[in-house]
Structure 1
Amino acid sequence: MKLSRTLLLLSLAIGLASCGQSEPQAPASSQETSNAAGNSTTDNLTVSLVTIAPGGSKPVDDEPSVAKTFDGNPEQIAAGRQLFQAYNCVGCHFNGGGGMGPALMDDKWIYGSSMENIASTIIEGRPNGMPTFRALVSGDQVWQLAAYVRSLSDLAEKDAAKKTQ
């Protein structure tokens, strides 16, 4: 009885001592680097984020010109639609109407609705459900998916209308 009590107290002491220790940091992947400004880039793809950034890091404020060539382009949107099906985005987003994942046909975007924000969400994933597709989706595919997602709520047309006013 005394031995089991001693073992119990010893295991509790070890458990409490290890509670204050932090988790070891995983090394940065070979695909992720930092540019001169300290902003994170992935696969040579720099995206702008809203003030909510993964891991509490500083958001990137660059708008890649490549995003503009995909946004609103019917051919790129069609390619993005095929990728949306192929990567089973419909499994969570139900063709944009929402389900387990959020709806993509409205104007409520937690992490931003720009091409860059959507690309970042696809690449990095988001808390509470959105997995990262960093290892699966190439640079052009990210922009095609982002163009398709924006087309679901006519965001490209709405942005163009705002610029002409």
Structure 2
Amino acid sequence: MRRDEYYFQIGQNIKEITELRQRDNEATNSLLRELLTKEYRLMDGKCREYYEKSSRQTRKNISDEAVELVERLSSAGQLAELEETVNRYQSDIMARFRHDLPDLKADDYKLFLYSILGFSSTAISVFLKTEKIESVYNRKRRLKAKIRQLPETTAGKYLSYL
């Protein structure tokens, strides 16, 4: 009886330690996501301005620096760097996403990456060079439908970023 109680207590301790580590990991991931999001918040504002003032004349009035940043964040090299950073701080989320959904279009992977970084649909529209923000909403809807076909725990994690 004592032996059973002893093993039961060990099991309880292991369960508590596991729950504490899981909470710590969730808190750390949340903090890292928040830090990444804050880093790009200024850029997100510029993208909103760029999108909302989309006539030729007003685009010319937006600073060249903002346009250059949009182009740079849309470039293949910068995307690879952003993806590497996200993988480093978010437990290889992009690598797992690509593995779990290997047949997506390049813009779907970009959409997911920009969403992880906390960019708004408006900013994503600028990065993806779409004329209408509705295109981003539609792409998100289709991407969510594809993600929902994955096992529930995996899908839930990916959907939390969209």
For Structure 1 versus Structure 2, the TM-score category normalised by the shorter chain is: 0.3 to 0.5
Q: Which has the higher helix share?
A: 2
TM-score (norm 2): 0.32
Give the number of the structure with larger relative contact order, counting CA–CA contacts within 8 Å between residues 6 or more apart: 2
